[in-house]
Amino acid sequence: MSTLSIPLSRPEDARALFGAQDVFLRQIRDALGVSILLRGDSLNLEGDEPHLGQAKEILEELLQLVRRQGFLKDEDVSRVLTRVSGEVSSQSAIDLFQRAKRVQPRTKGQEEYVEAIRRHDLIFCTGPAGCGKTYLAVAMAVNALRKETVRKIVLVRPAVEAGERLGFLPGDMLAKVNPFLRPLLDAMQEMLDFEQVKRYIEADIVEILPLAFMRGRTLNETFIILDEAQNTTSTQMMMFLTRMGEGAKIVVTGDPTQTDLPPNTPSGLDDAVRRLSGIEGVAAVELTGRDIVRHRLVREIVKAYDDQDHRKAKRR
């Protein structure tokens, strides 16, 4: 980690630079993974190169705008971020056709992921928690449904036990797997009105299923998402992928470092990427900690755990 300081000539510069409720500050910090703190009459920056230099250039250019016009607009910050850091283009936004709502990829890696979904029929996306793997896939599925390029959406997760026993959970099978499927439904409900999601589910336009329920089906003109795919075996993955019918698109997401499979059981996600990534029409995208867009601490948490795992691996 490196540090640097940017002096401020006026106290009001910081208020304008940070924006209402620090919205501009968070946008810059999340895009580059750089810590930015106000200390007295200067901004203290901490981060990795070359992001630290990019953050300094962005902040200095925005400070010049503040001194010239007295305030910043959203488009000012977006324009400078795009020019300096190579951030995403507004053309990559995903239109949800829901009260003009759009989902905007927030990092270059996320933009490449969205473009891969647009150009390919089978997409594998791996990366750590919080990098937008599932959320962006669901947004693209809603976009495809609203544009009528598919007739339905199927959201799938393997019901693998993560330190818990399904047999001890109350209720029937659907009640037992609901906790595993809930994140997919939550993502969709962030994008669409609750009543709209309910209508889609009741009309069988949207299905949210455990992986085992996919056996024996052929899905035509369907946008299919398999989430947490690191918890599939190779046999399960082959079964799932061969459900693909005419006009279908499949997005498979997962974090290979977070498998809940029994010891010595290879992950079907790793196996599928290795076998299929060279085939025409198939894309494999790898997101990293730089693409994490949850609370800024998520990026630090993932990094801390990765660093500890690497140290343990070296001692073995």
For the chain, how many residues are written? 316
pLDDT value for 152? 96
Q: Which of 134-143, 162-171, 258-267 has the lowest mean pLDDT?
A: 162-171
Contact 109, 291 (CB under 8 A): yes
From 71-75, 77-81, 136-140, 147-151, the region with the lowest mean pLDDT: 77-81
pLDDT at 175 over 90: no
- Burial readout 185-207 (b: 16 or more C-beta within 10 A, e: otherwise): bebbeebbeeeebeebeeeeebb
pLDDT at 226: 96
Helix axes 23-32, 51-69, angle to 10 degrees: 160
Q: What is the pLDDT of residues 58-97, one digit of tens each?
A: 888 888 888 888 888 877 787 777 667 655 555 678 888 7
User: Contact, 60 vs 80, CB < 8 A?
Assistant: no
Selection from 43-47, 153-157, 248-252 with the highest mean pLDDT: 248-252
Residue 292: the pLDDT is 77
Work out the pLDDT band at 27, boundaries 50, 70, 90: confident
| pTM of the model as a whole | 0.68
pLDDT digits (tens, 9 = 90+) for 294-312: 665 666 777 787 766 656 5
Mean pLDDT over 26-53 rounds to 81
pLDDT at residue 124 greater than cutoff 90:
yes
Residue 101: phi and psi, rounded to 5, are: -75, 140
Residue 204 above 60 pLDDT? Answer: yes
Mean pLDDT, all residues of the chain: 83
Distance of CA 84 to the CA centre of its chain: 23
**Inter-axis angle of helices 173-191 and 133-146, nearest 10:** 70
Quote the pLDDT of residue 313.
Answer: 54
CA dist 121 to 215, 221, 229, 245, 250, Å?
Answer: 20, 11, 17, 11, 6
User: How far, in Å, CA of 1 to CA of 8, rounded?
Assistant: 23
18 falls in which pLDDT band (50, 70, 90)? confident
pLDDT tier, 164 (very low <50, low <70, confident <90, very high otherwise): very low
Can you give the pLDDT at residue 3?
A: 87
- Residue by residue, DSSP assigns 279-312 as STTEEEEE--GGG--S-HHHHHHHHHHHHHHHHH
Region 161-181 average pLDDT? 49
pLDDT at 316: 55
d(CA 286, CA 118): 16
Say how far apart CA 25 and CA 93 lie, in whole Å. Answer: 22
pLDDT of 137 over the 80 cut: yes
Q: Would you say 158 and 210 are in contact if contact means Cβ atoms under 8 Å apart?
A: yes
DSSP H or E run through 3: strand 2-7
Helix (DSSP H) and strand (DSSP E) numbers for the chain: 11, 11
What is the model's pLDDT at position 20? 84
Rg, the chain, Cα only = 22
Tell me how crowded residue 4 is: count the other CB atoms within 10 A of its CB.
15
Q: In the prediction, which pLDDT does 123 show? A: 97
Averaged over 274-293, what is the pLDDT?
89
Peptide bond just before 50 cis, omega within 30 deg: yes
pLDDT at residue 167 greater than cutoff 60: no
Mean pLDDT of 236-240: 96
